[in-house]
């Protein structure tokens, strides 16, 4: 009566059989591809009453689908990822943050994510065993009740049908971020046509498109996470540290328990799409391999991305931000908390990039909407739950009519230009608002019933190709959780969090309630109508079909499948693993004899599985370890696998454990270590949060004045030794100078600014470079530049005089003037031209602009530069990085052109014996000196040395001169004494005369001692050694902090931090040691630009003090220092009150 069985055993029983589309040539054959696919053998229904539902026919049809099996594992993962990461995360999370606060937002995602994990495990087990069309809607028909399958199928289909126009509308509104004048219908047409075209080109095109979209979204989320960390640590453009400020005010939780319940549905909406893996199983080339991997990997990736991203959003965006109010409208990208958070970076570029990512996410989810709705609709038609026309599958394996119907529903997006489109789409969205909860709950219930039927039919769990990690218990937990979430949403709908949102009294409350719960009566209506019409019953255990559509994984078929896969391998992979040499393949093809008669198909499958794993391990030992080890195969293969797993875990975990234990397993237990370190960041944050870059170091050196070293913990608990005595300093810089090199983090931090050059070279390479540049940078050579220094000293004084004339109060910020003049001096001295006018033909940027973009970065750029040695951030598309990369490229082009020009001039002068006509700049002299060497300086070496000399000559001179002026402005007695000494020279300034000003030397040395421009000099031991009685193992980082030596009371007395130039007149004791001053370092590693910097500073200071009297505007207030910083700088420009000397 119910039908006739036709060759049921001949139905496909493995997933090795794929839909092979015909090879089509020409327009006619292309059109032929749209014709209906050939029918496949299966269960054909016979005559039955009109209102009889044939369950067996429905099961057979969904199991024998004509859909193309062309999706691979990577497609499955990205389909689930792309379908779930969209406006729910990027936009709707803003409304959740506004209603519930950051803690409620995070907890709701954890809770829904836990239930989703149980659901995906259940779905994975079902889909691997039954990769059938319709997936979970077909499972509901098979394991629960055909009427419930009808309701769930239409529920899920409608959900995606109405998501499509909503996402297209969201995309059109997002375009308005760039141009609001363009008609939205234009972009609605573009987006709709794009989405339809992708789906009409077949499932493989859809998979590739989702793969690309998802890669972009993953990259964007990772970039946002890194950027958000930078913003949170560095603070807003004003420089305020954010941290957990917004968790305290306005608070972590908002609106109490009701606020938490109100965000649960939004969390579920954000996870919608992960279940698309189930639908895609019917179109996957190898679900046995691909589905378990996708199920395991996708969930954890999504959870990690969601939780980390939302944690940072909650840290950066206060929950009372008025812009979040629109977050409940998924079409309003301006309410995205991600965009709001990125705007805190203070750039106009980043919000645009984030909106572009939201646009891609919108198109991706719209793409998934067509896929999900069309496959569900086609499966409904196969089960006689929908008009049979939607079961049309063409010869290319596309459910053509279902795709066209979904595309037609997408035309609703053209209502975007209708005046009251918001009301229309609110009702459309409400239809699918709770449908996800019903879908997931139904999956869990199907799984529970399937397991019961599986046991009832005398099957064992071991016979399943994939088993849920959480089992039936996990499915029950998730199901109960979904029911509770559903009940909480009914409560929130009846009593909303923000009553003021309901503006029309009782009618407004009623409207809001029905908008929130409309999906419930619709689902019940579907169920009841189908139930009444077909009079179906709940499927009993003994009636459940656990065979139709089930895939039997047999060894010889898997061997054939492996051979098929090899045909598509690239040549390098085929050569690496030739089939003839693969013992595993020989074992797969070997028939397994079972002497026991009457063995069932299920028992046979179990035996095949067991032998497959055994043969695989045996083949591995034969091929890679030899026959002598074959006896090892007597051990259980499970033991071997556990051993491998533990080895992997051990390899990964020991690094984390080592980092965590570093503070408790020091190699320097005899040395003092400060308290107050934090997990995994040691003392690094404490140093960064100090009032100045040296404050914390000075506290430590005064706490342990007699210790040769102080050990502290840096990032990742790396142990660092801080030099704290003259003896240790001398042995590091002189005795063992060539047994130290710059550490890797410093190489990345400073090397990307200044290149390698003399700073990072070691051993013979360092000696060679120093020998070549020693002559050009010697004191006699630098004295030839004295007229240049005098010229620019006069220029500086003129500019200060002009600034005084403009300022009625006599207040001048001389730091900017000093920075510009010293840069001009170093440009003319080193390169023979002013850097502000030096540019290449290929770039509009001058050398000065490039230099400032690299070495005078804004706060965000400094934070990126500081973190970059540990976590690469230079690839982030933020303005600080873009400006840095652009400037560095332009600067290199300029330097290469100038070096080629100077090298040609030197060669021509040597040839013509006209050396006296060469330019007198230091670059020319270095090229001359290099020409005398057997191994000349390369172009890259010249660029690096030049950049390092510029930094030493400019940064040190400018910073030291500003702090010297500051010190003299606060010490009027020393200022008057220096001015009197300068006036003794007379009107003319000469190099010889400046050398005869002892108090000038004392002032400069004292200013550089108290305010050392150099902050840290790091070294890394290249071998084991003993310094100052302390054993230093190879690889230890040793840092010299000049302030710890130059402000040490044990060396300089109790007034070590006081500016007192007179102390240099009667210098004695430890202070007379050359290692008591470390601004320019000492020994073979001494800064090569020292002579240039000192003479330059002397000339400028003489001119400044001779012509102007100075005092600090707010003398009673201490200057706030920038932290972090490459050199000692004030947070804001120091204001001087100046007047001309009569």
DSSP string, 513-570: HHHHHTHHHHHHHHHHHHHHHH---PPPGGG--SSTTPPP--HHHHHHHHHHHHHTS-
Helix (H), strand (E), coil (C) string for 6-25: CCHHHCCCCCCCCCCCCCCC
CA distance readout (Å), 361 to 85, 200, 218, 333? 7, 20, 10, 11
Residue 1100's Cβ-count burial label (10 Å; 0-12, 13-18, 19+) is buried
Q: Which is it for the CA torsion 668, 670, 671, 676, positive or negative? A: positive
Tell me how far apart the alpha carbons of residues 833 and 829 are, in angstroms, rounded to a whole number.
8
Coil, helix or strand at residue 802: helix
Whether the Cβ atoms of residue 45 and residue 57 lie closer than 8 Å to each other: yes
Dihedrals phi, psi of 668, to nearest 5 degrees: -130, 50
Nearest to 1099 by CA among 950, 953, 969, 967: 953
Nearest to 71 by CA among 211, 180, 245, 251: 211
Tell me how far apart the alpha carbons of residues 132 and 138 are, in angstroms, rounded to a whole number.
8
Through-space distance between the first and last CA atoms of the chain, rounded to whole angstroms:
121
Strands 709-713, 811-812: parallel, antiparallel or unpaired by DSSP?
A: unpaired
Whether the Cβ atoms of residue 759 and residue 1087 lie closer than 8 Å to each other: no
Q: Is 4 left (phi over 0), alpha (psi -120 to 50) or beta?
A: beta
Q: Which is it for the CA torsion 485, 486, 489, 490, positive or negative? A: negative
Q: How are the residues of the chain apportioned to helix, strand and coil, as percentages rounded to the nearest 5?
A: 65, 5, 30
Nearest to 280 by CA among 178, 132, 143: 132
**Owner of token pair 């230079």:** 874
Can you read off the two tokens belonging to residue 606? 């179990």
Element (H, E) at 1040: strand 1037-1040
Element (H, E) at 811: strand 811-812
1087 is in an annotated binding site: yes
Can you read off the two tokens belonging to residue 652? 């990964």
Dihedrals phi, psi of 1014, to nearest 5 degrees: -80, 130
Tell me how far apart the alpha carbons of residues 1101 and 1004 are, in angstroms, rounded to a whole number.
9
Tell me how far apart the alpha carbons of residues 757 and 777 are, in angstroms, rounded to a whole number.
15
For Cα atoms 425, 430, 436, give the angle at the middle one, nearest 5 degrees.
125
Dihedrals phi, psi of 47, to nearest 5 degrees: -60, 135
Tell me how far apart the alpha carbons of residues 708 and 705 are, in angstroms, rounded to a whole number.
8
Other C-beta atoms lying within 10 Å of the C-beta of residue 977: 17
Residue 1025 DSSP one-character state:
E
Nearest to 1010 by CA among 1040, 1047, 973: 1047
Dihedrals phi, psi of 896, to nearest 5 degrees: -60, -45
CA distance readout (Å), 258 to 91, 100, 751, 874? 21, 8, 54, 43
Whether the Cβ atoms of residue 454 and residue 149 lie closer than 8 Å to each other: no
DSSP string, 891-907: HHHHHHHHHHHHHHHHH
Query: What interhelical angle do 847-855 and 879-912 show, nearest 10?
Result: 130
Residue 1038: strand pairing partners: 721, 1019
Half-sphere exposure of 956 (CA within 13 A, CB side): 30
- Please enumerate, by residue number, every residue annotated as part of a binding site: 1087
- Please enumerate, by residue number, every residue annotated as part of a binding site for heme: 1087
């Amino acid at each position: 009566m119910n039908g006739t069985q036709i060759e049921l055993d001949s139905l496909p029983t493995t997933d090795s059989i794929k839909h092979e589309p015909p090879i089509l040539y020409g327009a006619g054959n292309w059109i032929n591809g749209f014709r209906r696919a050939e029918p496949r053998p299966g269960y054909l229904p016979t005559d039955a009453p009109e209102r009889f539902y044939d369950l067996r026919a429905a099961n057979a049809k969904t199991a024998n689908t004509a859909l193309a099996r062309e999706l691979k594992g990577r497609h499955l993962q990205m389909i689930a990822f792309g379908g779930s990461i969209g406006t729910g995360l990027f936009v709707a999370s803003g409304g959740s943050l506004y209603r519930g606060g950051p803690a409620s937002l995070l907890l709701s995602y954890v809770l829904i994510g836990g239930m989703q994990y149980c659901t995906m495990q259940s779905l994975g087990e079902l889909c691997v065993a039954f990769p059938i069309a319709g997936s979970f809607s077909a499972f509901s028909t098979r394991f629960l009740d055909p009427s419930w399958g009808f309701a769930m199928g239409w529920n899920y289909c409608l959900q995606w049908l109405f998501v499509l126009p909503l996402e297209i509308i969201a995309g059109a509104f997002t375009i308005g971020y760039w141009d609001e004048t363009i008609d939205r219908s234009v972009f609605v047409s573009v987006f709709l046509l794009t989405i339809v075209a992708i789906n009409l080109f077949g499932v493989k095109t859809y998979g590739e498109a989702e793969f690309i979209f998802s890669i972009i979204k993953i990259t964007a989320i990772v970039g946002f996470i890194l950027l958000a960390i930078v913003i949170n640590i560095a603070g807003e453009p004003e420089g305020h540290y954010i941290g957990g400020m917004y968790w305290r005010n306005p608070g972590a939780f908002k609106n109490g328990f009701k606020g938490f319940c109100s965000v649960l549905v939004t969390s579920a909406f954000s996870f919608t799409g992960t279940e698309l893996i189930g639908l895609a199983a019917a179109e996957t080339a190898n679900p046995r391999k691909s589905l378990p991997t996708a199920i395991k990997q996708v969930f954890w990736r999504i959870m990690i991305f969601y939780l980390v991203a939302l944690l940072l959003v909650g840290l950066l965006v206060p929950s009372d931000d008025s812009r979040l109010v629109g977050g409940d409208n998924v079409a309003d990208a301006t309410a995205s908390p991600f965009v709001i958070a990125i705007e805190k970076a203070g750039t106009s570029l980043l919000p645009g990039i984030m909106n572009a990512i939201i646009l891609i996410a919108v198109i991706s989810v719209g793409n998934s909407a067509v896929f999900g709705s069309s496959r569900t609709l086609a499966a409904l038609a196969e089960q006689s739950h929908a008009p049979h026309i939607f079961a049309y599958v063409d010869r290319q394996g596309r459910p053509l009519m279902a795709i066209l119907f979904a595309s037609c529903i997408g035309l609703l997006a053209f209502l975007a230009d209708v005046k009251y489109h918001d009301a229309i789409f609110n009702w459309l969205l409400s239809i699918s608002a709770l449908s996800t909860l019903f879908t997931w709950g139904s999956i869990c219930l199907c799984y529970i019933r399937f397991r019961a039927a599986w046991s009832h039919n005398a099957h064992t769990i071991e016979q399943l190709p994939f088993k849920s990690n959480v089992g039936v218990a996990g499915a029950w937990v998730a199901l109960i959780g979904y029911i509770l979430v559903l009940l909480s949403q009914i409560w929130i709908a009846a009593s909303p969090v923000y009553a003021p949102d309901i503006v029309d009294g009782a009618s407004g409350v009623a409207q809001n309630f029905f908008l929130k719960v409309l999906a419930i009566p619709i689902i019940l209506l579907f169920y009841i109508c189908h139930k009444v019409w077909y009079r179906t019953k709940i499927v009993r255990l003994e009636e459940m079909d656990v065979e139709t559509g089930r895939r039997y994984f047999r060894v010889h078929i898997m061997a054939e499948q492996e051979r098929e896969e090899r045909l598509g391998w690239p040549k390098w992979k085929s050569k690496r693993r030739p089939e003839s040499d693969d013992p595993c393949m020989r074992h797969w093809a070997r028939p397994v004899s079972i002497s026991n008669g009457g063995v069932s198909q299920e028992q046979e499958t179990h035996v095949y599985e067991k032998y497959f794993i055994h043969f695989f391990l045996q083949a591995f030992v034969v091929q890679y370890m030899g026959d002598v080890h074959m006896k090892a195969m007597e051990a259980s293969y499970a033991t071997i696998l556990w051993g491998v797993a533990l080895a992997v875990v051990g390899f990964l975990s020991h690094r984390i454990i080592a980092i965590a234990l570093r503070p408790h397993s020091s190699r320097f237990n005899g040395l003092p270590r400060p308290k107050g370190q934090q997990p995994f960041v040691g003392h690094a944050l404490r140093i960064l949060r100090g009032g100045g870059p040296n404050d914390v170091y000075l506290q430590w050196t005064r706490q342990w004045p007699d210790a040769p070293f102080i050990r502290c913990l840096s990032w990742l608990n790396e142990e660092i030794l801080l030099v704290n005595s003259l003896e240790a300093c001398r042995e590091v810089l002189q005795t063992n100078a060539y047994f130290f090199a710059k550490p890797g983090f410093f190489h990345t931090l400073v090397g990307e600014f200044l290149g390698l050059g003399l700073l990072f070279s070691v051993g013979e390479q360092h000696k060679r470079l120093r020998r070549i540049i020693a002559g050009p940078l010697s004191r006699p050579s630098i004295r030839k530049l004295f007229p240049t220094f005098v010229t620019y000293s006069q220029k500086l004084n003129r500019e200060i005089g002009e600034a005084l004339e403009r300022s009625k109060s006599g207040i001048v910020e001389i730091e900017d003037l000093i920075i510009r003049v010293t840069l001009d001096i170093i440009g003319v001295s080193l390169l023979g031209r002013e850097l502000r006018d030096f540019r290449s033909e290929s770039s509009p940027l001058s050398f000065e602009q490039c230099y400032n973009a690299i070495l005078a970065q804004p706060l965000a750029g400094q934070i990126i530069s500081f973190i970059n040695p540990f976590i690469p951030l230079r690839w982030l598309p933020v303005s600080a990085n873009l400006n840095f990369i652009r400037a560095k490229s332009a600067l290199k082009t300029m330097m290469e052109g100038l070096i080629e020009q100077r090298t040609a001039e030197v060669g021509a002068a040597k040839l013509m014996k006209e050396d006296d006509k060469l330019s007198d700049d230091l670059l020319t002299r270095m090229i001359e000196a290099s020409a005398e060497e057997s191994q000349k300086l390369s172009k890259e070496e010249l660029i690096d040395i030049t950049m390092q000399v510029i930094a030493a000559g400019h940064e040190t001179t400018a910073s030291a001169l500003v702090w010297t002026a500051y010190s003299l402005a606060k010490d009027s007695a020393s200022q008057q004494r220096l001015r009197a000494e300068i006036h003794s020279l007379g009107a003319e300034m000469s190099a010889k005369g400046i050398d005869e000003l002892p108090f000038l030397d004392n002032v400069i040395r004292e200013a550089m001692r108290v305010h050392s421009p150099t902050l840290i000099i790091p070294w890394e031991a290249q071998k084991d050694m003993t310094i100052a009685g302390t054993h230093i193992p190879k690889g230890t980082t040793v840092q010299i902090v000049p302030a710890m030596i130059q402000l040490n009371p044990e060396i300089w007395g109790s007034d070590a931090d006081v500016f007192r130039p007179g102390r240099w007149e009667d210098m004695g004791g430890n202070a007379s040691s050359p290692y008591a001053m470390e601004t320019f370092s000492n020994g073979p590693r001494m800064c090569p630009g020292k002579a240039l910097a000192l003479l330059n500073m002397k000339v400028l200071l003489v001119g400044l003090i001779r012509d102007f009297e100075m005092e600090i505007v707010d003398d009673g207030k201490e200057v706030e220092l920038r932290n972090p910083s490459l050199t000692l700088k004030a947070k804001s420009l120091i204001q001087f009150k100046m007047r001309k000397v009569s």
